[in-house]
Amino acid sequence: MIKTIAWKNNTVILLDQKALPLNERYITCRTYQEIISAIKDLTVRGAPAIGVAAAMGAALGAAALSSIPPEKFRHKFSAICAEIAQSRPTARNLFWALERMKKHLEDSIKSGSKNLVQELISEAKRICTEDIEINRQMGKNGRALLADGDNILTHCNAGALATAGYGTALGVIRAAKAEGKNLHVYVDETRPVLQGARLTAWELQKEKIPATLITDNMAGFLMQQGRIDKIIVGADRIAANGDIANKIGTYALAVLAKAHGIPFYVAAPLSTIDVSIKTGATIPIEERSGTEVTHLRGLPIAPAKTKVYNPAFDLTPARYITAIVTERGILRKPYLNSIRTASKGNPGHETISF
Ligand code: MRU
C-alpha cells in the first residue's frame, strides 16, 4: 500500500508529493512549523491527508511544550492549532482535525490525564488509522455505482496520496476493481499543478488499473464521443446543501456531465462536510501563486510579468451531483436531508441548524 504519512519516533514522515512521479522520496518533519510549510507547498496535499498532517503537526507542537500546568498547556496548544489552521483555507478536513485535537485535549484535562502530550499523539495516530478505514468503507459503499467495463473520468488526485491511504474517489475505483470489475480510467492532467498527470497516473499504474491521461480541455470531446460512462471526484469541502468545493476544473466537468447525461459522483468522508454552512457560496477558495500558471517545473511558459488569476478550487452546485459516497452510505438529493441523517451522532456534525 502507498504510505502517504506516518508518525515515527516523535517525527512525521511524509511522502514528498512535489517530487512525484520522478522521485519517490520521504521527508521528516520534526516541528509543527515544518508541517505548516509542507501543507503550504503541497508536499502533502488532498483534503483528508491535510487533516491527518495537521493533527500530527499539532501533536509535534504539543510534544515540544515543556511540562507546564494544564491551563497554560491549553493556551499554547490552542495557539499552535490556530497557526496550523492558516496553512490552507479550503479543505474542511484541516479544521475538522484541529477541532478534534482540541476537543481531545479538553477531554483529557477533564479526565485528569497525567500525560497530555501522549494523549494528543495517540489521537493524531487514531485520526490517521481511522482515515484509512473510512476510505475502505467508502469503497465498499460506492463500488456498486461502477459497472464492469466502465470508462471512468477522474480529476485531480483523490487517491491514497490525498489521504492516509486507499483514497476516496480512487478508493471507490480500487474497491470495484477488487471485486473483479474491469475498469478503465481517464485521468485529467489537472492544470496547473498536474495532480492528475503526476499523482493519479502514478497511483493507477502502481495498482495496475488501466488508465489514459488526457489534458483537461479534452474532457468535453470525450464525453461527446461517448467515451465516458461515469465521473468520480473527491471534495475539499461540502456545504450542508451538497454544494462542493473541489480542484479547479471540477465545475466544468459537472456541467458537461449534465449536458451529456453522464452520472457525476463525489466521494468524501463526513469530515469533509461543513454543516455550519448552508451553501457553497461562503466556502473560502484558495488563490495560489501565479508562477504555478506561468511556469512548468521552474521553466517559464508565459512572457515575464504576465498577469495571472489562479484559484485552486471551484464550486459545483449540488444540482449537478448525482450522488455523494460517504462512509455512512450513498447520499442522494435532497442533500440537506441526506446529510442531516448521515451526520447524526457523528461528533462535530450534529449541529446542522437549517
Ligand atoms: O490542491 P490539492 O492537491 O490539495 O487539491 C486536492 C483536491 O482537490 C482533491 O480532489 C480533494 O482534496 C479530495 S482528496 C481525497
Determine which residue's CA is closest to atom 8 belonging to ligand 1: 247
Which residue has cell 449537478? Answer: 320
CATH of 138-343, one of 3.30.450.20, 3.40.50.10470, 3.40.1010.10, 3.30.460.80: 3.40.50.10470
Write down the pLDDT at residue 348: 60
The ranges of the chain annotated as CATH 3.40.50.10470 are 138-343
The pTM assigned to this predicted structure is 0.97
Average pLDDT over every residue of 69-97: 97
Given this model, what pLDDT does residue 219 score? 98
Rounded to whole angstroms, the Cα distance separating 82 from 229 reads: 43
Q: Is 195 a pocket residue for ligand 1 (Cβ < 6 Å)?
A: yes
* Ligand 1, atom nearest to 312 Cα: 1
296 forms bridges with which residues in the sheet?
299
Sheet holding 323-326, edge to edge: 211-214, 184-188, 151-154, 230-233, 264-267, 323-326, 329-331
The cell numbers describing 129, all together, are 488509522
Banded model confidence at residue 52, pLDDT cuts 50, 70, 90: very high
Decide: 61 in ligand 1 pocket, CB within 6 A: no
Q: Are strands 295-296 and 237-239 parallel, antiparallel or unpaired?
A: unpaired
- Whether 60 has a pLDDT exceeding 90, the answer reads yes
> What is the Å distance from ligand 1's center to 235 Cα?
7
What is the CATH architecture assignment of 5-136? Up-down Bundle (1.20)
pLDDT at 351 over 80: no
User: Does pLDDT of 350 surpass 60?
Assistant: no
* pLDDT on residue 345: 77
What is the helix, strand, coil percentage profile of the chain, to 5?
45, 15, 40
Cα 274 from Cα 18, distance rounded (Å): 28
Whole-number Å distance, alpha carbon 114 to ligand 1 midpoint, is 38
Nearest CA to ligand 1 atom 6: 46
Which atom of ligand 1 lies nearest, measured to the CA of 268? 15
Per residue in 312-332, pLDDT tens? Answer: 999 999 999 999 999 999 999
State the catalytic residue, choosing from 131, 150, 188, 236.
Answer: 236
For ligand 1, the distance from its centroid to the CA atom of residue 262, given in whole angstroms, is 22
* pLDDT mean over 149-172: 98
Q: CA-CA-CA-CA torsion for 345, 348, 351, 354, nearest 10 degrees?
A: -110
Whether 156 lines ligand 1, by a CB cut-off of 6 Å, is yes
pLDDT of residue 131: 98
Closest by CA position to 347, among listed 175, 126, 171: 126
Q: Is the pLDDT score of 352 beyond 70? A: no
Question: CB of 235 closer than 6 A to ligand 1?
Answer: yes
pLDDT at 291 over 90: yes
- The predicted pLDDT at position 84 comes to 98
What pLDDT does residue 354 have? 63
Report which ligand 1 atom has the smallest distance to the Cα of 234: 13
Which is the closest atom of ligand 1 to the Cα of 195? Answer: 3
Is there a catalytic annotation at residue 236? yes
Query: What distance in angstroms lies between residue 236's CA and the mean position of ligand 1's atoms?
Result: 6
- Sheet strands (E) in 55-208: 151-154, 184-188
pLDDT tens digits, one per residue of 135-155: 999 999 999 999 999 999 999
pLDDT band for 349, please (50, 70, 90 cuts). low
Q: Which residues pair with 326 in a beta bridge?
A: 329
The residues of the chain that CATH labels 1.20.120.420 are: 5-136
- Is residue 353 predicted with pLDDT exceeding 90? no
- Please compute the mean of the pLDDT values over residues 89-102 and round it to a whole number: 98
CB 44 within 8 A of CB 161: no
| Cβ 312 under 6 angstroms from ligand 1 | yes
Q: Residue 24: is its pLDDT beyond 70? A: yes
Q: How far is the CA of 315 from the centre of ligand 1 (A)?
A: 13
